Structure formats: structure tokens, C-alpha cells
């Protein structure tokens, strides 16, 4: 069955550093992969979409990579700020055309 794995442990980093979050998937090859941000008590908010034929995608301080050989996506936030503290969800497209959401990685950026 299709499986998504994100770091279950919270990531704690210092303001100004680069945060790197990992998403691994198994047993299939998604055509797209999306990243969402979720704040406590709120619904997820879309951040970036990367397609299987794209190695890298950037948006302001965000960068996403997609390695179809390793079956892995990395999500980077450069020059991190306390306001970046949230849970980040990885969501590859499944074979049925729906998004499968990982359990998310909680990021905490300390001033």
C-alpha cells in the first residue's frame, strides 16, 4: 500500500538557520507532491506544488526538492523566523488522483 513518512519528532532550530523537513513515500510514484502549513486550530494552507519532472521549486524563502529515485521530497525554509513555527504536511498525489497527507512535522523556531 502507499505510505507517506515524515519526521515524527519536532524540529527545533534557531532563528536565522535553515530548516529542512523530510518526506518519504513508498510503493508508488506520485505525479505531484504538495506541501502545506498547518497552525494550531486551523486548516492546512497550501505552500508549494512540485511535479515529478521538476527537481526543485522555490518560493521566497521556501525551497522544495523532489527526488523520484530516492522517493523523497525535502522542504527547506531559509533564514527561518519564529513566525515559521507550525506543522508542515507533505501530500503526494496517490494513484487514484487524491492527495495522501503525511502526519506532519512540527517546526519550532526559537528567537
Q: Which residue reads 498525489 in cell numbers?
A: 93
**Contact range with other proteins by CB under 8 A, out of 38-46, 53-61, 67-75, 77-85:** 38-46
| Residue from 1, 53, 69, 96 binding other proteins (CB under 8 A) | 96
If binding is defined by CB under 8 A, does position 34 make contact with other proteins? yes
The least distance separating other proteins from the CB of residue 42, rounded to whole angstroms, comes to 6
| Residue from 50, 64, 77, 93 binding other proteins (CB under 8 A) | 93
Amino acid at each position: 500500500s502507499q505510505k507517506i513518512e515524515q519526521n515524527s519528532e519536532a524540529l527545533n532550530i534557531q532563528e536565522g538557520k535553515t530548516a529542512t523537513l523530510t518526506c518519504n513515500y513508498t510503493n508508488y510514484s506520485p505525479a505531484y507532491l504538495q506541501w502545506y502549513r498547518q497552525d494550531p486550530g486551523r486548516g492546512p494552507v497550501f505552500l508549494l506544488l512540485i511535479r515529478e519532472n521538476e527537481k526543485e521549486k522555490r518560493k521566497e524563502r521556501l525551497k522544495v526538492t523532489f527526488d523520484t529515485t530516492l522517493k523523497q521530497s525535502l522542504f527547506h525554509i531559509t533564514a527561518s523566523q519564529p513566525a515559521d513555527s507550525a506543522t508542515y504536511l507533505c501530500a503526494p498525489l496517490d494513484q487514484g488522483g487524491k492527495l495522501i497527507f503525511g502526519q506532519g512535522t512540527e517546526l519550532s523556531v526559537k528567537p
